């Protein structure tokens, strides 16, 4: 058993799921939101030489994806340490 | 030095490098053969994953597709990168903690069922064969265009190289060769684009050049000019699409979920030492993939502007065919460019519509696949750049083939033989069978490379749809629900696959004439139906689960134990 007690196990999983939910909301908003559903509306906004919706669909969403994974990595490593379930 | 000699030298040197690495990294045990001994550093594993993932299609075809699709090309850009977020957050760390060799291993153990394992094995083998046939074809095309050898000879050379390092090195050999192949392919991709973006806009970075003003002093944005050109020639505006929003949504989702469910991608995360390395490795993989995927749309737009201006001339009146640049004549020989002088003025003109339609001003047929390969020629770049692109195309095709072939051989030797038919097989004998299976798979793949079935392009939708509607939900439920049972998972997988396969087979093979938006369910094309298949899988699994007993206690404990990293060991068979 990796955890000190059952409460810790539940709390760890809850924090994990809440982090996951937040990050997946961002994932959805930048790609399916800004890049697809609201792309037409955002295209009215000029961002350098791009229309904003087009930029999210072909550039911006990908940058955010990369950032999301590294944020997840850092937060999860900290969470593992907090509950003493990290790999030595 | 001429292009052909330079290409021989550069492609030959890259082959020598791959073979050298294979000899250095040969595998001694099944553990090394299947998962490289679980000892690959995360950054290198990320690089290998990127090479594994980016196939001949990403390298050769994607920018061309985007170039002709404009905004709609975003389905590939977001779909094939967004899946890594799902993989990194929802799958990779847990599967690494679980610590087995293959995806069917996880499905079989988590759902305590040989039936589930067997269903998973057949899905894995089918998905991988679909893919690998296309890769071998890609090798053949590059060889025949740039080295001017026969396609058959090109495929056989490619098969021999892959055979050598897959059979000898297994996952360990493949991983380290893929690192080298990534370096070759990304360098080959970036060099011509950087040249072109400097010529068109004066920016070095294609990602900023994409949104910059033109270098011709007009002060006009590059994309603005492309939009104007497109409209003037009767196309849609480049920055807005032609597909319906719902279809773009579903295709993107299916590609993302399919990516996260592809066995040859998932298995890469079994090769790192720890759970935290699996997280890190997924991040680096996406960084390395993003370098190409953020460059591709820039290349697509520059390529389109260059192509239109070369053919139609700066004043859009057409240019004389007699003085056409050599790349047009070269690609005309391969049948990928056609010219039909409808108004007999001796000038070429490119516009919307078919070249056979007398009412359309268009006189040119340009195959989208030539965009990346012809770009250096269109932009008049030096011969060594053209040679480099050939080496990059071959690297992309070889790295993906090797990864796929490994999954096929593992599925046969480990999941079928060891776990089903010959449980008492020794490690040495299993390794022998793994090598034998890899060898047989290469020969079959080569056969399809030389005699491609007419439906290669269609079955790609199949591969993603199947992975999206079968593996992804089964794995997600296996991790995020402790109580999901064998019956629910099997019913879900079977109904998800059956639904998706039936829809695709109907529109692609049985009644292709009906493959139009009016006949699609909810306006969803066969490419995007995997998303609906995934929902069917989840729903059926849930309903069956509610009507049957939950998973036994020891399985629930197993699921609890993969949810935190502590105590992760090396990937193992037991």
Residue of higher predicted confidence among A76 and B334:
A76
- Residue of A62, A72, A75 to mutate, testing the B interface (most B Cβ within 10 Å of its Cβ): A62
pLDDT at B492: 94
Asked if residue B455 has pLDDT above 80, the reply is: no
Can you tell me the distance from the alpha carbon of B440 to that of B517, in angstroms, rounded to the nearest whole number?
41
Q: Over the stretch B287-318, which tens digit does the pLDDT of each residue have?
A: 999 999 999 999 999 999 988 988 998 888 89
Count other Cβ atoms within 10 Å, centred on residue B354.
Answer: 11
pLDDT of residue B461: 66
At residue B502, the pLDDT reads 92
Average pLDDT for residues B380-393, to the nearest whole number? 87
Per domain, the residue ranges of chain B are 3-306+380-459+550-561, 310-378
Tens digit of each residue's pLDDT (9 = 90 or more) over A50-62: 999 999 999 999 9
CA distance A50 to chain B (A): 5
Which of B82, B240, B287 is closest, CB to CB, to A43?
Answer: B240
Question: What is the residue whose two structure tokens read 């993939």?
Answer: B289
CATH number of B3-306+380-459+550-561: 1.10.4160
Helix (H) or strand (E) segment spanning residue A46: strand A46-47
Q: Which of B248, B286, B293 sits opposite A69 (nearest CB)?
A: B286
Tens of pLDDT, residue by residue over B113-142, are 998 888 888 888 888 887 787 777 777 777
Question: pLDDT value at position B572?
Answer: 57
CA distance B550 to B541: 12
Taking CA–CA distances from B557, the nearest residue in chain A reads A1
Q: Is the pLDDT of residue A31 over 90?
A: yes
- Residue holding tokens 């696949």? B369
Average pLDDT over all residues of chain B = 87
At B195 the pLDDT is 92
Mean pLDDT value across residues B383-407: 87
- Report whether pLDDT(B91) > 80: yes
The band of B574, judged by pLDDT with boundaries at 50, 70 and 90, is very low
How far does B209 lie from chain A, in Å, by closest CA? 9
Q: Over 90: is that where the pLDDT of B332 sits?
A: no
3-state secondary structure of B509: helix
Span A69-87, pLDDT tens digits: 999 999 999 999 999 998 8
Nearest to B103 by CA among B88, B84, B125, B132: B125
Task: State how far residue A24 is from chain B, nearest Cα, in angstroms.
Answer: 8
Distance to chain B for A11, nearest Cα, Å: 12
Least confident among A16-25, B40-49, B375-384: B375-384
Q: Which chain A positions have a beta carbon within 8 Å of B287's beta carbon?
A: 66
Which positions ≥6 away from B249 have C-beta within 8 Å? A32, A36, A37, B528
Cβ contact B400:B22 at 8 Å: no
Q: CB A59 to CB B274 under 8 A?
A: no
The DSSP call for residue B269 is G
B321 or B171: which leads in pLDDT: B321
Q: How far apart are CA B189 and CA B390, in angstroms?
A: 10
d(C-alpha A1, C-alpha B399), whole Å:
40
The residues, any chain, with a CB within 8 Å of residue B348's CB and separated by 6 or more, are: B311, B312, B318, B319, B320, B321, B324, B328, B339, B341, B363, B364
Are the Cβ atoms of B211 and A85 closer than 8 angstroms? no
3-class SS shares of chain A: helix, strand, coil, % to 5: 75, 5, 20
Structure token pair of residue A58? 């072909």
State the pLDDT at residue B268: 85
Q: pLDDT-derived band of residue B570, with 50, 70 and 90 as boundaries?
A: low
Does residue A30 contact residue A56 with C-beta atoms inside 8 Å? yes
Question: CB–CB of A32 and B249 under 8 A?
Answer: yes
- Residues of chain A with Cβ-Cβ distance to B294 below 8 Å are 59, 62-63
Terminal Cα-to-Cα distance of chain B (whole angstroms): 57
Cβ atoms B302, B196 nearer than 8 A: yes
Taking the Cβ of residue B450 and every Cβ of chain A, the question of whether any pair is shorter than 8 Å is answered with no
Which of the pair, B365 or A64, is modelled with greater confidence?
Answer: A64
Residue B363 neighbours by CB distance under 10 Å: 22
What's the average model confidence in pLDDT over A3-7? 88
Tell which wins on pLDDT, B58 or B341.
B341
**Least confident range of A7-11, B107-111, B137-141, B168-172:** B137-141
Specify the residue for token string 């975003």: B74
> Nearest CA to B532 among B259, B256, B253?
B253
Mutate which of A17, A23, A36 to disrupt the B interface (most B C-beta within 10 Å)? A36
Q: If you average pLDDT over residues B88-106, what whole number do you get?
A: 89
Q: What is the DSSP letter of B424?
A: T
Strands (E), B340-485: 347-348, 364-366
Interatomic CA distance for residues B163 and B28, integer angstroms: 17
Structure tokens at B365: 């047929």
Residue A25 in tokens:
């909301």
Tell me the three-class secondary structure of B379-411, residue by residue: CCCCHHHHHHHHHHHHHHHHHHHHHHHHHHHHH
Please give the C-alpha separations between residue B209 and each of B151, B224, B330, in angstroms, as whole numbers. 37, 13, 29
Once rounded to an integer, what is the mean pLDDT over residues B169-181? 87
Mean pLDDT, to the nearest integer, of A62-68?
A: 97
Q: Where are the alpha helices (DSSP H) in B54-146?
A: 56, 62-69, 74-86, 92-98, 103-110, 114-142
List, as ranges, residues 8-47 from A with C-beta within 8 Å of B.
Answer: 9, 12-13, 16, 20, 23-24, 27, 31-32, 35-37, 39-40, 43, 47
CA distances from B374 to B311, B401, B516 (A): 14, 24, 32
Please state the separation of Cα B117 from the chain's center in Å: 25
pLDDT digits (tens, 9 = 90+) for B533-542: 999 999 999 9
- Name which of A22, A23, A42, A49 to mutate to probe chain B: the one with the most chain B Cβ atoms within 10 A of its Cβ: A49
Q: How far is CA A72 from the centre of its chain?
A: 7
pLDDT of B78 > 90? The answer is yes
- Domain limits of chain A? 6-82
When pLDDT is averaged across residues B190-217 and rounded to a whole number, the result is 91
Which residue in the block uniquely carries the two structure tokens 């060889």? B143
Q: Is the pLDDT of residue B92 over 60?
A: yes
pLDDT above 70 (res B327)? yes
The better pLDDT of the pair B186, B419 is held by: B186
Q: B270-280: per-residue pLDDT in tens?
A: 888 889 999 99
Alpha helices in B262-410 (DSSP H): 263-266, 275-312, 326-333, 370-378, 383-410
B286 contact A CB<8A? yes
Whether ipTM tops 0.90, in short, is yes
B171 in Cβ contact with B402 (< 8 Å): no
The Cβ of residue B357 has, within 10 Å, a number of other Cβ atoms equal to 11
B145 vs B95: which has the higher pLDDT: B95
């Amino acid at each position: 058993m990796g955890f000190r007690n059952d409460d810790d196990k539940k709390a760890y999983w809850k924090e994990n799921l809440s982090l996951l939910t937040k990050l997946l909301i961002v994932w959805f908003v930048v790609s399916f939101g800004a890049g697809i559903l609201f792309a037409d509306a955002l295209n009215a906004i000029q961002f350098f030489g791009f229309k904003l919706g087009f930029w999210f669909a072909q550039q911006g969403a990908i940058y955010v994806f990369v950032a999301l994974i590294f944020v997840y990595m850092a937060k999860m490593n900290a969470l593992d340490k907090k509950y003493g379930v990290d790999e030595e | 030095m001429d292009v052909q000699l330079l290409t021989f030298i550069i492609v030959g040197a890259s082959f020598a490098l791959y073979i050298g690495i294979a000899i250095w990294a040969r595998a001694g045990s099944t553990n090394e053969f299947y998962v490289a001994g679980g000892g690959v550093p995360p950054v290198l594993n990320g690089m290998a994953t990127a090479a594994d993932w980016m196939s001949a299609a990403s390298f050769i075809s994607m920018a061309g597709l985007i170039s002709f699709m404009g905004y709609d090309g975003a389905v590939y850009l977001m779909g094939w990168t967004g899946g890594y977020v799902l993989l990194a957050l929802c799958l990779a760390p847990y599967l690494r903690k679980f610590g087995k060799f293959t995806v069917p291993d996880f499905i079989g153990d988590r759902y305590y069922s040989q039936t589930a394992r067997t269903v998973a094995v057949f899905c894995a083998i089918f998905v991988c064969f679909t893919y690998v046939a296309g890769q071998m074809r890609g090798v053949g095309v590059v060889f025949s265009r740039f080295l001017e050898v026969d396609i058959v000879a090109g495929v056989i050379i490619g098969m021999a190289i892959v055979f050598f390092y897959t059979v000898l090195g297994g996952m360990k050999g493949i991983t380290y060769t893929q690192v080298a192949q990534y370096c070759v392919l990304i360098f080959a991709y970036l060099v011509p684009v950087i040249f072109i973006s400097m010529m068109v806009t004066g920016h070095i970075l294609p990602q900023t050049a994409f949104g910059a003003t033109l270098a011709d002093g007009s002060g006009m944005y590059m994309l603005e000019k492309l939009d104007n050109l497109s409209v003037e020639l009767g196309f849609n505006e480049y920055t807005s699409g032609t597909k319906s929003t719902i279809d773009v949504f579903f295709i993107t989702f299916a590609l993302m979920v399919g990516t996260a469910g592809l066995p040859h991608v998932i298995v890469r995360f079994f090769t790192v030492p720890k759970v935290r390395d699996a997280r890190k490795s997924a991040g680096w993989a996406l960084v390395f993939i993003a370098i190409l995927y953020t460059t591709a749309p820039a290349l697509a737009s520059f390529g389109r502007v260059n192509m239109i201006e070369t053919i139609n001339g700066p004043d859009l009146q057409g240019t004389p065919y007699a003085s056409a640049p050599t790349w047009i004549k070269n690609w005309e020989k391969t049948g990928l460019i056609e010219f039909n002088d409808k108004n007999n003025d001796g000038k070429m003109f490119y516009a919307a519509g078919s070249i056979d339609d007398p009412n359309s001003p268009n006189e040119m047929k340009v195959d989208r696949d030539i965009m990346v390969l012809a770009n250096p020629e269109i932009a008049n770049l030096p011969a060594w750049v053209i040679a480099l692109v050939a080496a990059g195309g071959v690297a992309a095709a070889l790295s993906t083939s090797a990864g796929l072939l490994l999954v096929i051989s593992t599925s046969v030797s480990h999941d079928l033989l060891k776990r089903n038919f010959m449980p008492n097989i020794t490690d040495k004998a299993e390794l022998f069978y793994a090598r034998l299976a890899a060898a047989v798979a290469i020969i079959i793949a080569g056969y399809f490379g030389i005699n491609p079935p007419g439906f290669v392009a269609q079955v790609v939708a199949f591969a993603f749809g199947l992975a999206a509607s079968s593996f992804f939900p089964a794995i997600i439920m296996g991790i995020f629900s402790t109580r999901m049972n064998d019956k629910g998972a099997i019913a879900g997988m079977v109904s998800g696959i059956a639904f998706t396969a039936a829809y695709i087979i109907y529109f692609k093979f049985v009644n292709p004439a009906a493959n139009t938006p009016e006949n699609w369910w909810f306006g969803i094309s066969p490419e995007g139906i995997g998303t609906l298949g995934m929902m069917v899988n989840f729903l059926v699994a849930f309903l069956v689960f509610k009507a049957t007993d939950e998973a036994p206690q020891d399985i629930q404990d197993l699921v609890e134990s993969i949810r935190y990293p502590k105590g992760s060991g090396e990937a193992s068979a037991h």
